[in-house]
Amino acid sequence: MKITDLLPASLVLPSLEGQTKEAVVQELADHLAAQRPEINAARLVEVLWERERLGSTAIGDGIAIPHGKLPGLSEVLGAFGRHPKGVDFQSLDGGPTHLFFLLVAPEDSVGLHLKALARVSRLLKDRTFRARLLTAPDQAELYRIIREEDDRL
């Protein structure tokens, strides 16, 4: 599974504006739903919050991977967002979160969901890759960096 199979360039947001965990989740969900008519943004936010209540999806090093399963989907979908200032996402290391990779999977797709999470985690654990994402000037360069790293792994 390639990240670029589930993340088109149009779902890369170089400058998230939300100042809270709730606002960032809403912003990512709204953007994904605006491009995928089969997704209801309000329902997606509910699904993401159900998962967040189990524990923060901010894993440290400035990374969060909000995710969940949504009935009615036929494939795993992703959205990526960068927050230049960072927000408090209740990260495991207590630091601000800058890089957000939202994943949503069909309700009955345990294997695909876990593969996508593992792939994103593997990509984002590389410190140099994260630094490149933080300094990329725009959406096109962010997507190019993601695609390049995705092809390398």
Q: Which residues are catalytic?
A: 67
Rounded CA separation 59/5 (Å) = 23
Question: Which phi-psi region, left, alpha or beta, contains residue 86 (left: φ > 0; alpha: ψ -120 to 50)?
Answer: left
Rounded CA separation 64/130 (Å) = 12
Rounded CA separation 79/65 (Å) = 10
> What value, to the nearest 5°, has the Cα angle with vertex 139 and ends 136 and 145?
55
Cα distance from N-terminal residue to C-terminal residue, the chain: 11
